[in-house]
Amino acid sequence: MRNLGKVSLGYLRQIGVCCLEDLEKHGSVKCYKIIKSLYPRQVSLNLLWSLEGAIRDCDWKELSQEVKQKLILQLG
């Protein structure tokens, strides 16, 4: 999946997300929340941006500030 390295893919596999379709089904925010709860010190918002970028098939650096703010609001 785009934007995701070995460690991030490992986190996703640990929560049962094995392919892009799984990530799309669960959404970037839900996956990020679960991973963050398991690895609070290791995971930053960059993972959320990367997950969303993978879903949108774009580089995470291309996400607008508006998109990032909406994702942060969804975190609650």
pLDDT tens for 14-60 read 999 999 999 999 999 999 999 999 999 999 999 999 999 999 999 99
CATH of domain 6-75: 1.10.150.20
Rg of the chain (C-alpha set): 11
Say what the pLDDT of residue 53 is.
98
Say what the pLDDT of residue 67 is.
98
Handedness of CA 49, 74, 76, 22 (dihedral sign): negative
3-state secondary structure of 52: helix
The DSSP code sequence of 22-43 is HHHHH-HHHHHHHHHHH-TTT-
